[in-house]
Structure 1
Amino acid sequence: MQKKILVFELCTELEQELVRQQLNPDTLKRYRKVLKEFSAFGGEEVYSQPLGTDFLIQKFKADGGISITDEHSRTEAYYYRCIRILTEYYNFGIVHIRNDFKGEVIWPDGFRACTESYLGELVEDGLSYAYINRSKSVIKDLIIFLDDRGIHRPHDITTEHNDAFIKSYYYLSPKGIASKLCILRRYYRFLYLNRHIQIHLAEKLPHACINGRMKIPTFWTHEEIEKIKSSAERVSPSGKRAYAMIILASELGLRIGDIRSLKLSNIDWEQKKISIVQHKTGKPLVLPLTDDAGWALIDYIKGGRPITESPNVFVRHRQPYDAFPVNSTMNHILSAVLAKAGIASDSKNYGWHTFRRSLATSLLQSEVEMSTISEILGHSDPDIAGRYYIKIDAQNLKKCMLDLEVKDYVRG
């Protein structure tokens, strides 16, 4: 549990932090309104998470209940979000609003030593940045959940607390639940083996039943990819950058993480090849530098890339012109091009990885061996292409269909 602090003092501290982070003036104005009302509600009381919950209940009860369809619902979202930010700031000393947040989480005293040791073990085991970041998010949610119930150290977690926390994930997809359960199971196992908890909670977690992927993955046809390429303007520096990234994704099948971290030293211009160590798998990958990719890179590096000491090929176009943060999805770059191409859609899972799926589909339809496709895409498991990308190859799916014998008595 964090130190005791009055509500109005905590609200004042948070407001100062929001100002320091240079929030959008309109957003800051809305948050200030919520903090002012919460201070009036319980300013002289010692802050606790249940107090924030009581404030929200009273607020929306006075306004006639919770609305989900009209303009008022957007106002409610700010109230929920502001109180949530206040809870995180109280428990962890952070304001996590931007995607490029790089600060360190200050774990509450009761969880600090064990959680920092656990995360350190993940780093030593070579787990990816993305996995460690997801783990922090799940553990943070768990601590907030427990704080609301007066639990401030792992030793006091019961099976009932564990079950209630899992139920809070009811809104997620089966795959999303399975991912969080996997992270939680590993965390609980560490706590139990290191005697931070007495109950083997990892064994009490349910096993989500996920029979493969729930949906057929999305992909783009050759015509759609050509339309995307032609929609990327190649005049402005940002346009040249977007086009070069799209070429690397569509023709070489590189993951966006590897494109984001691509170094100038990774490109061998004489041998016409790109050599990287994949961010996701940690395995080396060497790919031929196609003519389109080569000229797109040259056009950006010579005519669009700012003068910078960054070793990365792709950098921000605002000072100090450094590399993109490792957790940046770069979706804002692609979304603008998709909108111009007229194929952007909120209803489908379109993104940078769609280029990778589309390349695999094209290769499958050209009857390229699956082992070769896995080699091109740098899979850690050679069977991935067979288990996954075959699902989006309609032509090969038809080959898998069984010819059913139609009996004479059915024909009539």
Structure 2
Amino acid sequence: MEKSTHQVSSHLPLQQFVAGAVGELERLHYSRRTLARYRAVWRHLIAFCHEMSLEDQYSYELAEQFRTAYQMYEGECLNSRQGWRRHIVFALKVLEDFARDGHIERTVTDMQKIQVPAPMSTTLRDYELYCRDRRHLRTTTLRERMREIAIFADFLGSRNITFFDQMPPADLCAFVTSQHRLAAKSVSRIVSDVRGFLRFLLLRGILQQDLSHVLPVVHVPRDATVPSVWDPELVIRLLEVVDRTSPKGKRDYAILLLACRLGLRASDIRTLTIDDLKWGNGHNRG
């Protein structure tokens, strides 16, 4: 990937530092609309720095103070003049990357450049069939999961690993670290997908030990998503309309029950296996 030919110091005056970040986005051919969103956040950051009489240069502490002062709170409705606040989290993350690396890279992976090592291809096809026929994943979910696994396989190939049973635990952590430019929520989803794939490799005997626990836990900030509470009557109505006469309907009903009655998160439900169920602790209510 093309990188900038110069390094920009975060010790420059804040306005000059931001101008360098804007130049990086222009180099990467970001759309005019996207550039306007970043510029709006960064313009308010500069104004905040001056209003608070803070040191005139970028720092993580400045970004955190700005985030705390202007981040959206639960249930808040923004008017047209405050719309820039929706983009604070990611705009600040881009600045943090720029301060650390001296350049900015697009977070979208060009899948045409992804190369899965040939010996891994059959395993990936088997996993895709397993997710479709045994896990009954929706087409869009399956496509996204296989995309992440292909990126994982390409990463291993870049480290001269062509068989899944060759990968050392250290490379699993290195893969997660390589995703640092993504938002925490995205990294958490990727880790969950890779963890499920590692369990599949163990199930098929390709791995001799469970490596899923080696993957680090990604902590998603509490304000990354807005929590919601559903009215009990609405939950009952939702469960009643599920068609439980088909295998897909029964699956959907079970997922809803896990979420509504046990409070499991989507990531927990997605990685749930038969082995996680403690049948011996159940009670037959006949």
How high is the TM-score relative to the length of structure 1?
Answer: 0.34
How high is the TM-score relative to the length of structure 2?
Answer: 0.46
Q: Name the larger-Rg structure.
A: 1
Return the structure number with greater relative CO, CA threshold 8 A, min gap 6.
2
Specify which structure has the higher proportion of helix. 2
